[in-house]
Chain A
């Protein structure tokens, strides 16, 4: 079964750091770009970051550039999101998603996890 499982969400103070993890199974992980998407409470989905299949390219939405870092370990079928200098507005459910195409890079996402909650509050 193709599956993504996020973990690492927590309550953290403004200015703090958190690392999210996403464990992939059931597909050839090294062949697919991976993306993080978030949903703030009562809001819509927001694309956050993407990493190419080989890890050679990383991309971010403007509001997290310089604060978040996406990475992956193809030997462990894992993708990560290191979040530093967290702000109240980063509060959201964070979803990990798989690019549908082997050569894809942010085109569309055919497998999603159920998300992990990040709350930034004092």
Chain B
């Protein structure tokens, strides 16, 4: 099973909105409402920022939002801030108590 497809890098200026894509298949992203997104600052523990496609855990800024269309999920960060610079990973339930991650997108805040 191949990793979900994410762009390797994106960049944006403070205050801008930026959207990350995550493309899977009808066996994962397209079937299950179980897409999650993680923010990962290198050397630290990954942080859950979106679950079940659109839901935000308590304590996560409402600048982060998720959506899905067909086999592609998206994460949008609005009002980009310097501390948002990190790696972002999508993940989908893939059936049989397994999960599959994307390759990750490195966000650079200019």
List chain A positions with a Cβ less than 8 A from chain B.
4, 33, 35, 37, 43-47, 50, 52, 57, 59, 61-62, 95, 97, 100, 105-110, 112-115
Sample of 5 more A-B contacts, CB < 8 Å, known A61-B98, A112-B47: A45-B104, A47-B98, A108-B51, A109-B36, A109-B91
Nearest CB of chain A from residue B9's CB, rounded to whole Å? 13
- Which one of B44, B45, B48, B97 contacts A100 once the chains associate, using CB atoms below 8 Å? B48
Would you call B101 and A45 a contact (CB within 8 A)? Answer: yes
Q: Which residue of A lies closest to B36 (CB)?
A: A108
- Measured between alpha carbons, how far is A47 from B89 in the docked complex, in Å? 12
- Measured between alpha carbons, how far is A51 from B28 in the docked complex, in Å? 20
A-B contact count (CB 8 A): 77
B64 at the interface (CB under 8 A from A): no
Would you call A106 and B93 a contact (CB within 8 A)? Answer: yes
Would you call B48 and A109 a contact (CB within 8 A)? Answer: yes
CB-CB under 8 A from B91, the residues of chain A are 45, 47, 108-109
Q: Which residue of A lies closest to B47 (CB)?
A: A112
List chain B positions with a Cβ less than 8 A from chain A.
1, 3, 34, 36, 38, 40, 43-48, 51-52, 57, 89, 91, 93-94, 96-104
CB-CB under 8 A from B46, the residues of chain A are 37, 45, 95, 97, 109, 112
Q: List 7 A-B contacts (CB under 8 A).
A: A50-B98, A59-B98, A95-B46, A97-B46, A109-B46, A110-B48, A112-B47
- Which one of A4, A50, A62, A108 contacts B97 once the chains associate, using CB atoms below 8 Å? A50
Would you call B102 and A44 a contact (CB within 8 A)? Answer: yes
Nearest CB of chain B from residue A112's CB, rounded to whole Å? 4
Q: Given the known inter-chain contacts A45-B46, A114-B45, please indicate yes or no for A59 contacting B89, CB distance below 8 A.
A: no
Would you call A113 and B45 a contact (CB within 8 A)? Answer: yes
